[in-house]
Amino acid sequence: MKTRFAKSKTNTNRIFAIVLTGIGILATVPLLLGAHTPATTSITVVNNSSREIRHVYLSPTNQDNWGPDQIAGSMIGSGGGSYTLNNVSCSQADIKVITEDQNGCFLYQVVACGQSSTWTITNDAAPDCGN
């Protein structure tokens, strides 16, 4: 037969275990909230220039390592052609969009992730032709 002291100690241990479990659950909530999936966005490139866009690449804003050509086998025609990249995954707040024209010259634009963006290229944009 258990004494009154033994029963009291058992109840105290149960309460202590419940409290510790509750604290553990509460401690993991901020970790779970911080673990997020990368944002996705859609990016429309509108070509209002006289250049023909032959390639579109994506890159983190702080890197020069571009991903694969996003329009492989296609082009964005001059004078109003457009192309939309859907479900672009972003691991940062912004992403760099790089286009290459028929002369091998590049244009760069940084767009915000998590919202749809449109980049309109005009003849006023100064291309990087490696000079």
pLDDT tens digits along 3-26:
665 566 677 777 777 776 767 676
Residue 11: the pLDDT is: 72
Token pair of 27, please? 């401690």
Residue 47: the pLDDT is: 98
Token pair of 6, please? 């033994």
Angle, CA of 122, 125 and 131, to the nearest 5°? 140
Residue 5: the pLDDT is: 55
Residue 22: the pLDDT is: 64
The C-alpha atoms of residue 47 and residue 27 are separated, in whole angstroms, by 50
Instruction: With H, G, I as helix, E, B as strand and everything else as coil, classify residue 95.
Output: strand
Global pTM value: 0.70
Contact 78, 52 (CB under 8 A): yes
Of 90, 76, 84, give the one whose Cα is nearest residue 43. 84
* Blockwise average pLDDT, block size 10, the chain, 131 residues: 60 74 64 60 96 96 92 95 94 93 96 92 95 78
How far is residue 99 from each of residues 35, 43, 95, 123, measured CA to CA in Å?
A: 32, 13, 13, 14
Residue 86: the pLDDT is: 94
